[in-house]
Structure 1
Amino acid sequence: MKRAGGEHLTAEDRILWSRVARTATPLPGKALLEMEEDAAALSALPPRETRTPDRQPRGQEKTAAGHIHHRPHRLDAQTREKLARGRLDIAGRVDLHGLTQSEAHTLLLSFLGRAFMTGRRYVLVITGKGSTGGEGVLRRAVPQWFAAPPFSAIVGAYGEAARHHGGAGALYVRLRRRRDGR
């Protein structure tokens, strides 16, 4: 699918378009097209690092394939406080409300990948609190995604957002620094 200017749609554009398309009633004899995953968004992420020494720094584990698996940490209280008071800039935000897990995963990966590649440091991820009486599916899933590749290569730390930023329904995310000097 292409935009009006001839450019290809990003994964984020496809997800947003599918949300809008689901609200429309198709013409008789026509069906809604299902959203395709955008593999290009996944290729924008940095490759996983390998490390030869037997000892890894804390917060890292070696996988069976020999790749380093970084585990994101919890944001420290001082950093969380600075974000809450506006002393540290939140460089972007993404809202995952109303998305399926598959759509949310694709959108979040695309958003964080672009933020990482452009050198952004802190972003806000809004998962929502879930339905009454239970914890939301995305609220539970997103921290688990952060601990697994490919997210673990770009997410350094995360923590619950301040109340005015969404509280328990949102997360502050600190992205890792790029190693290529950009």
Structure 2
Amino acid sequence: MTPRRRKRVLREDERALWEHVSRSVAPLRPRPALPAKPETPPPEEPAPPAETEGRAPKGPVLHPRKRPLAPAAPPPPPLTKIEPKVRRKLNRGADVDARLDLHGLTQAAAHRRLHLFIMDAQAAGHSLVLVITGKGDSEGLGLGLGLGWLRGGEAGRGVLRRAVPQWLSDHALRPYVVGFENAARHHGGEGALYVRIRRRRERS
């Protein structure tokens, strides 16, 4: 059995020589250089919050709902003339369904009486009525009736003759009145009016 050789310890001069030689010798296969570790970027600081003073908060903006406008009322039906066939019958002496005589009434009383008469005529199913206004000349409208017959400083003779057509054309009576014309001579002529009453189902 071969005895194990003891490991020889180098002297100081031999160790210095060996280190000098090993530094001057280039290796046959150079060791691959290790990749440098990427530098980690510093964490980003959060941006400071924007100034909100004087600004509306974020989120959906709620606008107040606009109320829908109420539908406009339909215009009153237009007035038309009395049918020629009906007019011919009246001229030949045909009678009317009802009549109203406004003689001797003040304007306020005549206006109120006319409204009630027209509405009652429609409710009763009448189609043609007679409204007597008076001509306002030789008949006279009655003295001593107070200041109700004065209009613009002018004497009130014939006031109803001018006012009744305006009242019949007013929007308050248009749903009840189809049209009106001066009456035939035997019904009063220019001092009276034929008034055509609108049927109830025709008001819509």
Shift of 1:142: 1.0
**Match in the other structure for 1:110:** 116
Correspondences of 1:134-145 after superposition (within 5 Å): 136-145=158-167
TM-score by length of 2: 0.52
- 1:100 maps onto 2:106 in alignment: yes
Structure with the greater alpha carbon radius of gyration: 2
Matching residue of 1:165? 187
| 1:79 counterpart residue number | 86
Instruction: Report deviation, 1:77.
Output: 3.9
Give the fraction of aligned pairs with identical amino acids, expressed as a percent: 50
**Partner Cα separation in structure 1 for residue 177 and residue 109 of structure 2:** 19
Could you tell me which residue of structure 2 aligns to residue 59 of structure 1?
A: none
SS at match of 1:81: helix
1:91-135 CA deviation, whole Å, 9 max, x = no partner? 100000111111111101111110101110000000000135997
1:11-160 correspondence runs (5 A): 65-87=72-94, 89-131=95-137, 136-160=158-182
After TM superposition, give the deviation of residue 76 of structure 1 in Å: 4.1
Aligned residue for 2:136, secondary structure, equals coil
Once residues 82 and 198 of structure 2 are traced to their aligned partners in structure 1, the CA distance between those partners, rounded to angstroms, is 13
- Count residues in correspondence: 116
1:151 partner SS: coil
Partners of 1:80 and 1:161 within 8 A in 2: no
Amino acid at match of 1:149: H
The secondary structure found in structure 2 opposite 1:67 is coil
Three-state SS of the structure 2 residue aligned to 1:94 is strand
- Of Structure 1 and Structure 2, which has the larger fraction of its residues in strand? 1
Q: Deviations over 1:17-45 (max 9, x none)?
A: xxxxxxxxxxxxxxxxxxxxxxxxxxxxx
Name the CA distance, whole Å, in 2 between partners of 1:164 and 1:128. Answer: 13
Gapped regions of structure 1 (runs ≥ 5): 1-63
Q: Is the 8 A contact 1:124 1:170 kept in 2?
A: yes
Q: TM-score, normalised by structure 1?
A: 0.57
